Chain A
Amino acid sequence: MNFNLSEEQQLVADSVQRFVQDNYALEARQAIVGGADDFSQAHWSTMAELGWLGLTIAEADGGFGGNQLDTMVIMEQFGKGLVLEPFFASIVLGARAVSLGGTPELRAAILPAVMDGSAQLALAYAEQQARFDLHDTTTRASQNDSGFVLNGHKSMVQHGGSADYLVVSARTSGAQTETQGISLFLLDTKSAGLEVSSFLTVDGLTAAEVTLDNVQVPATHLLGELDQGFEILEQVAIDGILAVSAEAVGAMEMLYKDTVAYTQEREQFDHALSDFQVLQHRMVDMFMEYEQAKSLLYRATLEVVQQGVEAKRTVHALKHFIGKTGIMIGENAVQLHGGMGVTEELRIGHYFKRLLVIDAQFGNSDYHLEQFAA
């Protein structure tokens, strides 16, 4: 048994950590949030140059052939800086879907540009009526002579506004909530009839609503088999859950450590706040929950990498725990910071907001507990 990172993974972790320390102080981050772009193009280029964008792409497709553990290493560090660049949307979700379902020709046409950062992907799966069910899909694709025509609406597409291509789930047969009959397509965002409207989310990232009005897609842009897209979508979602959970664990670590530091500096009633036992115990609880979250993250990620039979169930356990714990640690970090905790001026509030958003991504805490117990 060994829970240490490999030498290569440690090198990546160190390099991402340095990047975050150098570029993601709160003020620098907030300057990007308020700016014209959704993220920093310069940072995005740096990530491409350092090879992070190709780390998990198969060697046959020109990448480094890494797996979910490599993603975990990057995302945990990103969580500590609340990084804004679309690594998650474009690489973890988008590139994964193309890798799993794209033909060799399509992969060769798309993935090199994704790895060098010149093309960006996003995953458009959510629909309002579905709540968190990936298989509840009303967006339709019908076959014609030139391929497929898509109609419908996709919601809350993370980084959809800056994407060049969208991976879209659409129903090609079956009833609204069947897993059978869903197909995945790669859509050029410049396609006629495709409307993307982007807006800021509470965590400083962006999301978009996507309307599809008779959007024509060539048959070569079908990902995977016709009607069999759900399997790919589910695998991509599992990778997505592992990645946001790693990000959350990074954010939780910062929250509990910042709180421990602050309560030792801040004095009230002629004592450091950390002198009060009720606050000490609260911080111990935060620390314990963080460590437990990290354990489940390792457990789920390793099981997925090794394709264990219980892997899916463990992923449900993880996402349930991350949602619950992230909010518990966030609420307590704010409470123990007092008035300062509820301002935009300290970074803890920003970690808290990101954790709130992560809870709802790919199903919230309640949803995954239900799936776990099912």
Chain B
Amino acid sequence: MEIDLSPADLAFRQEVRTFLTENAHRPNEDYMKWRMNWFKLAREKGGWDVPKWPTAFGGPGWTPTQHYIWEQETAVHNIPWDLPFGLGMLAPVLMNYGSKEQQDRFLPDIRDRKVNWCQGYSEPGAGSDLANLKTKAELSADGTHYVVNGTKIWTTLAHIADWIFCLTRTSDAGKKQQGITFLLFPMKQPGVEVKPIITLGGAHSVNMVHFTDVKVPVENRVGEENKGWTYAKGLLQHERTGLAGISRSLVALEKLKEQASSVTRGNGTLMDEPAFRAKVAELEVDLMAVEFTELRSLASAAAGGDPGPESSILKLKGTEIQQRIAKLTVEAGGIYSAAWGAKTPGYAFARGGMSSYLSSRAYTIYGGASEVQKDVVAKNVLGIKKS
């Protein structure tokens, strides 16, 4: 066993730090200009603009340890915002299952952050039980296009998306997982209607999307008809590991300590109060453990093995930790956490604390509710068979 990074990894970390520091956003610098230039410079570093893409598609080909270093460093440095849908979710599907034409057509615009994608998965009757989806795609008589009808829900940023990758039902025969087809089509066209859903944090980021006779050319189908579930499944796994957010939680916990130290009471601060201190300390212990759980998982992946059973707990533990940090931020804000809006009193951190906490309640719901995740672990990892 070996805990230290190798000299090569240490050198890589230094290189990453230098890049992130030298190209940090400067005060008064035009954000969008900086953002696009940042991606250009990252690309010139050898695919740092698409860290997770394989070398065959222009990615950097990092080792798992290098990915881990990147994630740690980008959690503390300010990097441009990015959306995961095209870059992290659709792109791997296209690389594995898309045609050469589809790869050439869609990947460059994803890489250049030119086209925003959204994900058409969940439906009102298909949440945790995603395979139950009913949005229908019917092949036209001449076989040139599909006609899509149905409703998707929880579609993140559908209102600003240019395109959607969408799971549709093309057959009712056999198991529910069979008969699902993976289609790509533009959002800004007749027959696509986006309705906002306002979430408890007060934000509009998710939507309900209705499709009425939307025509999708067959060349926009990824892979084979009725095989979409296979393509989507790998993607879900990817989504789940990405949701643990451990590096971000480490940063958030440090911030929480600072915030709590700014909350006065008598001659001390909130960080002097035993009950609060104990909760922060417990969080820190859990984070230390989960950080190493992630490293163990990375190490076995680096050795060429499967991620190992420990990886199955990352999303469960990681999201729970994010929620606990958000909850303590609300507690730290005290009466001011109730204040809503920009011109409110009290601590600056309390202003967004409540809406972050409320949003965080969704972390144990989306991408597979925790209860369902635990069923999967019981079955696949513990090997428990249902009688």
Contacts and interface: CB of A to CB of B under 8 A. Distances in A.
Contacts of A201: 338-340
A271 B132 CA distance: 12
Interface in B313-345: 327, 330-331, 333-341, 343-345
Interface of A: 126, 128-133, 136, 155-156, 177, 197, 199-203, 207, 209, 267-269, 276, 278-279, 327, 331, 334-335, 338-339, 341-345, 349, 352-353, 356-357, 360-361, 364, 366, 369-370
Interface of B: 122, 125, 127-129, 132, 153-154, 197-200, 202, 263-266, 270, 273-276, 327, 330-331, 333-341, 343-346, 354-355, 357-359, 361-362, 364-366, 369-371, 374
Closest 9 A-B residue pairs measured CB to CB? A131-B265, A268-B129, A366-B275, A201-B338, A357-B338, A156-B335, A344-B198, A349-B200, A342-B362
B273 A207 contact: no
Given A128-B345, A276-B371, A360-B334, A339 B265 contact: no
A131 B132 CA distance: 50
Contacts of B198: 343-345
Given A129-B264, A177-B266, A338 B365 contact: yes
A156 B369 CA distance: 36
A353 B338 CA distance: 9
Contacts of A342: 199-200, 358-359, 361-362, 365
A323 B274 CA distance: 18
A87 to B, nearest CB: 18
5 contacts: A129-B265, A136-B265, A331-B361, A356-B357, A360-B335
A353 B199 CA distance: 12
A155 B346 CA distance: 8
Contacts of B199: 342-344
Contacts of A339: 122, 127, 153-154, 362, 365-366
A209 B345 contact: yes
B276 to A, nearest CB: 6
A131 B263 contact: yes
A136 B265 CA distance: 9
Contacts of B346: 128, 155-156
Given A335-B364, A339-B127, A156 B345 contact: yes
A156 B275 contact: no
A131 B365 CA distance: 33
Contacts of B369: 335, 338
A338 B343 contact: no
A345 B361 contact: no
Given A156-B336, A342-B362, 7 more contacts: A133-B266, A136-B265, A269-B132, A279-B371, A342-B361, A344-B198, A360-B333
